[in-house]
Structure 1
Amino acid sequence: MKDLTEKTIRGGFAKVCAQAANFGLRIGALMVLGRLLDPKDFGLVGMVTAVIGVLHLFKDFGLSTATIQRKTISTEQLSTLFWINMLVGGVLGLLSLILAPAIAAFYHEPRLVLVTSVLAAGFLFNAAGVQHSALLQRQMRFTTAAVIDTIALVISIAIAIGMAFAGYRYWAIVAMTITQPFVSTIGCWIATAWIPGPPARRSELRSMMRFGGTITVNGLIVYIAYNLEKVLLGRYWGATAIGIYGRAYQLINIPTENLVGATGGVAFSALSRLQDDPVRLKSYFLKGYSLVLALTIPITLACALFAGDLIRVVLGPKWHDAVPIFQLLAPTILIFAMINPLAWLLFALGMVARSLKVALVLAPLVIVGYIIGLPHGPTGVALAYSAVMTVWAIPHIAWCVHGTVISLRDILTTVSRPLVSGLVSAGLAFAAQLSYGDLLSPLPRLLLGGSLLLAVYLGMLLYVMKQKSFYLDLFARLLKRPPAEEQVLISA
């Protein structure tokens, strides 16, 4: 168990560092591409990805999660899962090609036929790396996986910026979208040095297929709930509207994707190995949950307070219409940081059916919100979406933890310390902004306000809330010598 603790902490640190780098890279890419391309360029690609993104949910059929969650898995089973993924990827790519004319007709935009056809290749690129990536997670080789992700992102961004400079407009975004999974898959193959064998009929995969299938259906429902508004905005308000909404939405989701992504893979792998040890599982989960919230809350407040300056600095002045959308979506950063980690718990415990039931209730609520907000354009949709998610947060948490080793009181106690610290720091930062706001340009104002917010937040959290010892202990563990090379967790 001590070895698992060290692997988890060091793996989490590696993932956080990599995701911090990825955060910077994504922000940098947005800053450059936002100035080289128009909202309509982003909107054209966004129209397609909002639709075929549904198909991407089936690219691994939940089998990567099943691979990580299993206590033991054979090479024969892995090989069979690989070929299942390739078959699914090929079918989805072909289906995208077939749907291309219909997508173009739906949006009244003929250019989408070719865009959809090119993006279809991404299904095969993703499918080829699903099990190799899962194998790295299963082996808890998080540093290796993080390096691969970062390299893939750097290459894809470089290609996109080069094409944008050359005048290829929306094709730069298309190239970025398909290059990243291609490079990532190559990296995973090299890192694992595993070549799949032929599929086997008697590899006892029924339970894994059922587990993965439930996860896929859950993901499908959640995807529809969180992305239908983009389809509706593209259909009724056009490419420019979805381009503006989409960039604000993307910028809002970068913190959640990076922070939860940094800890999620590590936490799920560790929790899956502790599913028979409820005391340690509870301790692991709450520590990871506390870390995610401590990092997320100041980011949420900064996005809400400094929305105008952030948009101007990151995307440029031509994206000023994204400011109210960005500000309205800001609360969802914290909401998703509160509810997404609960999936680690449910999946690690094999409680995927409950996760599916939660999604079945959430989806109609969010969709009704979209419909109410749609007549008011992107701003109305953003307000409705944020309001529904905020109201839903506590019932969601209570339902997910019911009957597990985690209680609602545990969650609320964990949230309270960083939240109170954040509200105090936000109040002081807001007051300061009122006093000097008109005297500074956007970048200095953003840097000064953000620094003040962070300084007060850290003082509150570490000293007033007495969390200093927790983070010092975490830092001390990170400085320890890393454990010996991890052994492959595959049983013959």
Structure 2
Amino acid sequence: MARIPATRLNAGQSTIVVFTAQLFSFLIHVGVAITLARLLGPEDFGLFGLAFSVIGIFEFARHGGLIVPVIQREAITSEQRNTLFWFNAALGLLLALLALAAAPLIGRVFNDARLAPLIAVLGLVFLASGLSAQHIASLRREMRFTAVATCELAALLVAAAVTVWAALHGMRYWALVGFQLVREGLQSLLLIVAARWIPTWPTRHAMVAPLLRSGGIMMLFELLGYLNFKADNLIVGSRLGPVALGYYGKAYEFLLLPINQIVTPLSTVVHSSLSRRQRDPEAYRTFLARAVLLATGLGLPITAFLFANAHALIVQVLGAQWEPSVPIYRALAPAAASMTLTCSVGWIFLSLGRARRQTWWSGLTTIVTVCAFVVGTSWGAEGVAVAFSMTRIALLVPTLMFTCAGTFVTWTEILATTARPAVGSTIAMATSFLLDAIYAPDRWTLPRNALVFVATYFLYWMLMPAGRAMLSESLALVRRRSADA
């Protein structure tokens, strides 16, 4: 395979680039979300959310599951690379045509003609991502994270500007569609240019069957992940209507957005590091404990603060029109808290090569979760949020037990690691409730509560036995990966 000359980052630099890019992405997303929340109404977000949820059913096949297998493969030939490009391109075109063909039927099924053009246009996202799938795989494989981050952030900035402009000019839900199209289209173009690779025609004997089989497993995971974490939007929109989905979707977005900014970049670091420690049980458990402590040490206090200050956050930041999202926001908080811990499930399964074992367990939890969503609609959008949190909490220990069975990791170790951040977050959360009882709500509610919350949580770690050492060891994951990663 022809190599592309590039200055590669070392392991520590790669981690810093990933986290820095994620931070900027988070800030842009938050800024755009707040702006659009004040320019558009719940029905606009709900209608777009329903269309996006429907088309999200095809999301599992977006890249053919081939990005991770290509990155992880020890060696890949130019013939394989070319063949996989045309496979991804054909798959993207097929998904776009399926969306176009299904759009009128979906509009009739949901009894809303506005959905048809939305879904037809959103299908173009699959075509764009199919053309750039192997380019982004090559860039990540060569550890050119700066190039990837630059492309993604540039596309995000342009898409954000276009979306705000469209919303200001009365384009309503089409402004949200424009965000997806501009971001995906421009990002794909920039990635193709950055990779500096032009594919040639595929060959018959490229030996891509093993990669396609691995991609098939990854697509199954993606489908189960969609049903576990996105089916609620589809069910709320179809059974309760766009307005209810607008409130539900906004609560979901603002609660999980900061959590995803922690889990996503951390996972890119942890996967490969754990994989290289699988033959050293002690080193594996130590690294896993530090990663779990970092995920929960950051994620749990954020969730606790958002739960305690939900009303002030929603009303003061998004606007009074979003006040019905407050009880939904709080009902989703336990689910968000559990996600800071259950991210370790994927780390263990993938790093120890137990993906097939994970598949049927994910299928079982998916059935339970979707059934809970349907039952929850009897109590409205808040009922679905409660059902989501109840299933996440109820399945937490069984999932950890199943994940750790037959490995050198014990599920009690993982829970024990989470105990200290959980206690600290609870104590800090109590300060927000105490301040709300003392002071009447005003414009200083959020900054005052945030300052006291952060100070309390930090003081908890400083006073706790070995707290400083544990904190510094976990934060070291942000600055470095293992020397052999």
TM-score by length of 1: 0.90
Which of 67, 70, 88 lines up with 1:67 in the alignment?
70
What amino acid is aligned across from residue 444 of structure 2 in structure 1?
A: P
How far apart, CA to CA, are the structure 2 residues paired with 1:309 and 1:427? Answer: 16
Which of 36, 41, 63 lines up with 1:38 in the alignment?
41
Question: Which residue matches 2:345?
Answer: 342
Alignment of 1:413-424 (within 5 A): 413-424=416-427
Corresponding residue SS for 1:330? helix
Question: Which residue matches 2:456?
Answer: 456
Cα deviation digits, residues 85-122 of structure 1 (max 9, x gap) = 11111111100001100111122111222111111100
1:263 pairs with 2:266:
yes
Indicate the larger mover: 471-480 or 417-426: 471-480
Assess if the C-alpha contact under 8 Å between 2:293 and 2:474 holds in 1: no
How far apart, CA to CA, are the structure 2 residues paired with 1:268 and 1:250? Answer: 25
How far apart, CA to CA, are the structure 1 residues paired with 2:12 and 2:290? Answer: 11
By how many angstroms is 1:272 displaced?
A: 4.3
How far apart, CA to CA, are the structure 2 residues paired with 1:278 and 1:196? Answer: 42
How far apart, CA to CA, are the structure 2 residues paired with 1:408 and 1:27? Answer: 35
What amino acid is aligned across from residue 142 of structure 2 in structure 1?
A: Q
Give the % identical residues: 29
By how many angstroms is 1:258 displaced?
A: 1.4
1:182 pairs with 2:185:
yes
Assess if the C-alpha contact under 8 Å between 1:48 and 1:116 holds in 2: yes
Corresponding residue SS for 2:438? helix
Question: Which residue matches 2:16?
Answer: 13
By how many angstroms is 1:214 displaced?
A: 1.3
Question: Which residue matches 1:358?
Answer: 361
How far apart, CA to CA, are the structure 1 residues paired with 2:375 and 2:474? Answer: 46
How far apart, CA to CA, are the structure 1 residues paired with 2:230 and 2:448? Answer: 35
Question: Which residue matches 2:154?
Answer: 151
Question: Which residue matches 2:378?
Answer: 375
Question: Which residue matches 2:221?
Answer: 218
Question: Which residue matches 1:252?
Answer: 255
How far apart, CA to CA, are the structure 1 residues paired with 2:341 and 2:369? Answer: 17
By how many angstroms is 1:31 displaced?
A: 1.0
How far apart, CA to CA, are the structure 2 residues paired with 1:277 and 1:91? Answer: 44
Cα deviation digits, residues 372-396 of structure 1 (max 9, x gap) = 2111110111111111111111111
Question: Which residue matches 2:445?
Answer: 445
Question: Which residue matches 1:3?
Answer: none
Which of 48, 51, 65 lines up with 2:51 in the alignment?
48
The two structures, once aligned, show a CA RMSD in angstroms of 2.5
How far apart, CA to CA, are the structure 2 residues paired with 1:223 and 1:77? Answer: 29
Assess if the C-alpha contact under 8 Å between 1:137 and 1:265 holds in 2: no
Indicate the larger mover: 12-21 or 166-175: 12-21
How far apart, CA to CA, are the structure 1 residues paired with 2:303 and 2:251? Answer: 14
Alignment of 1:16-415 (within 5 A): 16-275=19-278, 278-415=281-418
By how many angstroms is 1:276 displaced?
A: 5.1
Distance 1:187 1:389, change over 3 A: same
Distance 1:308 1:238, change over 3 A: same
Corresponding residue SS for 1:57? helix
Assess if the C-alpha contact under 8 Å between 2:294 and 2:474 holds in 1: no
Assess if the C-alpha contact under 8 Å between 1:69 and 1:348 holds in 2: no
Question: Which residue matches 2:3?
Answer: none
Distance 1:474 1:407, change over 3 A: closer
By how many angstroms is 1:280 displaced?
A: 4.2
By how many angstroms is 1:172 displaced?
A: 0.4
Distance 1:17 1:223, change over 3 A: same
What amino acid is aligned across from residue 54 of structure 1 in structure 2?
A: I
- In structure 1, stretches of 5+ residues that fail to align are 1-5
Assess if the C-alpha contact under 8 Å between 1:34 and 1:316 holds in 2: yes
- In structure 2, stretches of 5+ residues that fail to align are 1-8
Indicate the larger mover: 170-179 or 123-132: 123-132
Assess if the C-alpha contact under 8 Å between 2:107 and 2:113 holds in 1: yes
Cα deviation digits, residues 285-331 of structure 1 (max 9, x gap) = 33333222111011110111001111113321101111100110011
By how many angstroms is 1:275 displaced?
A: 4.9
By how many angstroms is 1:279 displaced?
A: 4.8
What amino acid is aligned across from residue 318 of structure 1 in structure 2?
A: Q
Distance 1:327 1:57, change over 3 A: same
Assess if the C-alpha contact under 8 Å between 1:10 and 1:478 holds in 2: no
Assess if the C-alpha contact under 8 Å between 1:260 and 1:341 holds in 2: no
TM-score by length of 2: 0.92
